[in-house]
A and B are shown apart, each in its own frame.
Chain A
């Protein structure tokens, strides 16, 4: 089976710093693929390269077999690669509903003229966009917050709203960058269930996460990076038993314990 995403020899250098060094990764369709590693291993850099936030210094990326290495981030988003951000990037002055509607922008067609004339086709499209945006809010459990400004939402709700905006167009691939950061244990459990439902809805997920509970519960496969290099890929259980992985985390007691449990 063709992998949904195939990264080959991805490298990324920032000046003299080698953030990623010839990383290979294959993500099977319909899976949740974890991406873990000690701090500074290059997880977020890898996610940014996949999303197209900046180009790789070397290597290639294929989505469903098609080369996307040269595409800019917005073009990849239109192809069906959506993401969330580690440090939350919402549109704070817009309502939750409109934030989700921005996620659906690429599915619409209405331009300047039809907006001025308010043609029936434009109004129908607006109704459809808003209905789908509301559906996405409902999916993540924010139906009650639709009319609130994103900037006034509670922290946990803002994390969910980012997921709603990214998931609203039912992307092929959803990149989640530490979605559990700052969440309390109850919220983290709910997030784990949400990621599983996103997979059931047919969207493949790449999950960068430090919460090992979340990673080990929901991931089908896990890739471990260390110092910008691919260290190991396998099932959550296989990763936990891999001596190289344990060694990489050695000295980081908390994470080593988390892995052991």
Chain B
């Protein structure tokens, strides 16, 4: 397990040399971006216990933000982090709802997601409306446009790795412990002197900023934005990634992102039935236990023994 992270990083870094296929690299770039998105929700749900169905909104703020800023002449390297910050700040409008718990919070964030979708779809002067934004610039580093799919892949994979390590550090810190404690018992957390609403809001901002980063990378990777990618279905997709990966496991979130992006591609062979098979696979995985993919080895090991 100690070798898991370095081995995965090495494999991810060597992938373009091992399989120099443009479509595969395009897919793996999408996996890296989806992984960042899933890690953002993983932190919110797995560490602080807040269920958000509004991640598509922050993803959208990041995507359109970065596309518009680079369109206005800002360099990629400045626009992407700025878009992430902007997505984080946009979540501040949700501070009043962080007092809500469980399903109430989920529905409130879902409402936010629907509003964001409608804004993207209808504010044509800003977002291009249903036609979307076209001709978004390629990612660029040090003034050099990244034309090679391998370079774009490396950039996104490296950022996914940074987000993974950063959120792991955060979870394993004074701040992360406090968020984790609040998830388990708010009354006891308050009685220990924790500023519950502040910490929950900070988790929201962090999660939204990470989602915004994913959105910004998505914009420059696909280079076209339309409202369809930011509907509430996207929020659900992120939740599926986190849950099938295993709530509480950062590695699981990456695994879940890979499954949600890659499985429908592999299932193209079954044609129209692919989403049906995908849905069935999601249901089947849940039957194995709530640990998701990350909990699967343990669930299989326990299987022969008598279940409680």
Chain A: residues with CB nearer than 8 A to chain B?
51, 53, 72-74, 77-78, 82-83, 85, 89-94, 98, 101-103, 105-106, 108, 110-112, 115-116, 118, 122, 125-126, 129, 165-166, 169
Contacts and interface: CB of A to CB of B under 8 A. Distances in A.
Interface of B: prevailing SS: helix
Contacts of A105: 174, 177-178, 192-194
Given A51-B191, A103-B192, A115 B173 contact: yes
A115 B176 CA distance: 9
A61 to B, nearest CB: 16
Contacts of A129: 174
Given A74-B194, A118-B169, A91 B188 contact: yes
B187 A93 contact: no
A77 B206 contact: no
B193 A78 contact: yes
A85 B192 CA distance: 12
Nearest to B170: A115
Interface of B: 166, 169-170, 173-178, 180-181, 184-185, 187-196, 202, 206
9 contacts: A77-B192, A77-B193, A82-B193, A102-B189, A105-B178, A115-B169, A115-B175, A116-B170, A122-B173
A89 B185 contact: yes
A126 B190 CA distance: 21
Given A77-B190, A90-B188, A92-B184, A102 B178 contact: yes
A110 B175 contact: yes
A72 B188 CA distance: 14
Query: Considering residues B187, B191, B196, which has the most beta carbons from chain A within 10 angstroms of its beta carbon?
Result: B191
Contact of A94 (B181, B190, B206): B181
Contacts, number: 90
Given A73-B191, A74-B190, A166-B192, 12 more contacts: A74-B193, A91-B184, A94-B177, A94-B181, A102-B181, A105-B177, A106-B192, A106-B194, A110-B173, A115-B174, A116-B166, A116-B170
Chain A contact residues: over half helix, strand or loop, or mixed?
helix
Contact of A110 (B174, B181, B187, B192): B174
B185 A111 contact: no
Instruction: List the 8 closest A-B pairs by CB distance, nearest first.
Output: A115-B173, A77-B193, A106-B193, A89-B188, A78-B193, A91-B184, A74-B190, A102-B181
Contacts of B166: 116
A85 B178 CA distance: 19
Contact of A126 (B174, B181, B189): B174
A105 B195 CA distance: 10
A145 B62 CA distance: 46
A73 B189 CA distance: 10
* Residue among A51, A93, A102, A110 with the highest chain B CB neighbour number at 10 A: A102
Q: Which of B180, B184, B202, B206 has the most chain A CB atoms closer than 10 A to its own CB?
A: B184
Contact of B192 (A93, A102, A118): A102
A78 B178 CA distance: 14
Contacts of A89: 185, 187-188, 191
A125 B195 CA distance: 19
B175 A85 contact: no
Contacts of A122: 173-174
Contacts of A102: 177-178, 181, 189, 192, 194
B94 to A, nearest CB: 18
A82 B192 contact: yes
B190 A73 contact: yes
Most buried by B among A72, A82, A89, A93: A89
Nearest to A51: B191
Nearest to A168: B192
A62 B195 CA distance: 22
A89 B184 CA distance: 9
A210 B179 CA distance: 35
A26 B47 CA distance: 42
A112 B185 contact: no
Contacts of B184: 91-94
A98 B174 contact: no
Contacts of B178: 102, 105
Nearest to B178: A105
Contacts of A73: 190-191
B202 to A, nearest CB: 6
Given A85-B188, A89-B185, A102-B181, A126 B173 contact: yes
Given A74-B193, A89-B188, A165-B192, A101 B169 contact: no
A116 B195 contact: no
B191 A82 contact: yes
A74 B195 contact: yes
A98 B171 CA distance: 13
Nearest to A98: B177
Given A112-B202, A115-B170, A126-B174, A93 B190 contact: no
Nearest to A150: B184
A174 B176 CA distance: 26
Contacts of A126: 173-174
